[in-house]
Amino acid sequence: MSISIPDLVTVRARHPEAIAEAAARRVRRPLLGDSGRLMIVAADHPARGALGVGDRRTAMANRADLLERLCVALSRPGVDGVLATADILEDLLLLGVLDGKVVMGSMNRGGLSGAAFEMDDRFTGHRAEDIERLRFDAGKLLLRIDYDDPGSLTTLESTARAIDDMAARQLPLFVEPFISRRIDGKVRNDLSAEAVTRSIAISSGLGGTSAYTWLKLPVTEDPDDMAEVMETSTLPAVLLGGEVGDDQEGAYEKWRKALRLPTVQGLVVGRSLLYPADGGVEAAVDTAVGLL
């Protein structure tokens, strides 16, 4: 699909109501299809100022290019849906590519990448009422916990209230937890088995009910630890892709092993599929789908 930015701008400027109309017309589907697995493409990075892919610092800054890559990914067999912020999802609504897809709204993007307040990850994206109003299918939030940063407590409490708000509407919420710390001024996520285990235990217990809570989890540093780590909770989980660099095959093998575990229901992958090292979105997406 060739993306016309001028056409999108014209609709947004002259007919902003077209977004709500497109959302109302969208054909919905169950969260889990016949396969019982989920393959979601993630594109909520730009709203945190995280535009880089590998050594390309602003790879995700070109909106036409990003939308074209998303449209290609969404057209591939086995891709269930997309996770993004309001601006991107609304562009995709106007392009008419979200029929029959799972649409997940990204809720907290306030912890800007590299900012002094990065750990105080405020809810600056979709609210539960927005996801309900737009007839989207789920929400997602990021929960980074730094034991040395008081800002983490704000995010922790806000996460619990978001879980309550989504559950009151019977909407699934994907919680992406990490134990994090600053190293040389930069926030780093701890992917050791102990840290991931603790993050699962903390996030699983948030809110007044966990009935609609899913987990979005990284593969641990040692993939062989994942089986024991995933015994921490009975909540359904998906694996997050993250940036895998040049070792795409190594990442696929880690995902393949973890996908065999009983609580793991699928994949949510972004930059490594939209901007693969070899440049081929179709091949990267099809390979990831094949892991399921």
E strand residue ranges, 146-291: 173-183, 186-190, 213-217, 237-240, 264-269
Per-residue pLDDT, averaged over 49-69, amounts to 92
Tens digits of residue pLDDT in 176-221: 999 999 999 899 999 999 999 999 999 999 999 999 999 999 999 9
Q: What is the dihedral of CA 274, 279, 285, 286, to 10 degrees?
A: 170
Does residue 256 surpass a pLDDT of 80?
yes
What are the structural domains, with CATH classification, of the chain? 5-291 (3.20.20.70)
Whether the per-residue pLDDT at 252 is higher than 70: the answer is yes
Better-scored residue on pLDDT, 149 or 97: 97
Given a cut of 90, is residue 136 above it in pLDDT? Answer: yes
Segment 215-244 shows an average pLDDT of 93
| pLDDT 10s digits, 88-134 | 999 999 999 999 999 999 999 999 999 999 988 999 999 999 999 99
What proportion of the chain, given as a percentage, has pLDDT over 90?
Answer: 84
* Mean of the per-residue pLDDT values of the chain: 94
- Helices then strands, counting H and E runs in the chain, come out as 11, 9
Torsion angles phi and psi, residue 216, rounded to 5: -120, 110
Mean pLDDT of 62-81: 96
Is residue 245 predicted with pLDDT exceeding 70? no
Q: What is the pLDDT of residue 76?
A: 96
Residue 279 has pLDDT above 80, yes or no: no
Name the band, by pLDDT with cuts 50, 70 and 90, for residue 22: very high
Does the pLDDT value for residue 87 go beyond 70?
yes
pLDDT of residue 243: 65
Work out the pLDDT band at 1, boundaries 50, 70, 90: low
> Rounded to the nearest 10 degrees, how much is the dihedral formed by the CA atoms of 196, 145, 173, 86?
-120
